[in-house]
Amino acid sequence: MTGEQFNVDGATAIVTGSSRGIGRAIAERFASEGADVVVSSRDRDHVDPVAAAIDERDGGRALAVECDVRDRDAVEAMVAATATEFGGVDVLVNNAGAAFVAPFEEITPNGWQAILDVNLTGTYHCSQAAGAEMREAGGGRIVNVASVAGIRGSPGATHYAAAKAGVVNLTRSLAAEWAADGVRVNSVAPGFVATPGVASKMGVTADDVDRSDVDRQVGLPEEVADAVQFLASPASSYVVGETLVVKGTPRLETWPDD
């Protein structure tokens, strides 16, 4: 296998929730590799600087789009704008998400619904709208950003864990449905990543993370971008419906002393 297998040059990619953190790292990575990218979030003021910074560098072009993934009309407008600007949609990265910490008994119906709407229903809206373009064009790649919480659970964030578990199973089920249409669907499940949100909760920033250190529990946004690029590239041609866990050193059960 050569580096060409990981090539996304010339592709058009939509990256939701890409104003900062993991989404921004993915958008910047794709653009640096020659892909045209749509950077989107609910606030246009947050994505305009990201798109402008991408356009100042060598590589692919960027289009800033204001889009709330909970709003089907906004999602369809984003996909239409992408097709108009770049001629189609080759890759969709469903990264937009939301979370808050609360005991289960304190999660209100509105709080529960809000987390499901962004993380799971938003993935449904974007996949269905962008998928229509892909299927008509003969194929594409969808990469959903799930979470280890959706695989292992997360006390204190049951609503988020449930939503991300839905994303994992949506990935597997949709992959089986759309494989015949040439659309590969996979997901990544990050653990703790040094984003602004994690920094505020854990006090760990990207400056504290040494990528060469194998034994660690906090990763970098760029390391998740590596995994997403793999799943969006020809290198993952035989990977369909899978969830790639990116979480560092395993936490294993230990035997009690005799």
pLDDT at residue 1, rounded to an integer: 45
**Structure confidence at residue 214 (pLDDT):** 79
pLDDT block averages, 10 residues each, the chain of length 258: 85 97 97 98 96 96 98 98 98 97 97 98 98 98 97 96 98 98 98 76 70 81 97 98 94 72
Predicted confidence at residue 201, as pLDDT, reads 64
Question: Domains plus CATH for the chain?
Answer: 11-246 (3.40.50.720)
Burial code of 82-119, b = ≥16 C-beta within 10 A, e = fewer?
Answer: beeebebbbbbbbbbbbbeebeeeebeeeebebbbbbb
Query: Residue 242's closest CA among 133, 151, 120, 115?
Result: 151
Burial class (CB in 10 A: 0-12, 13-18, 19+), 65: buried
Instruction: Show which residues are catalytic.
Output: 160
- What pLDDT does residue 22 have? 96
The pLDDT, as a whole number, for residue 256 is 73
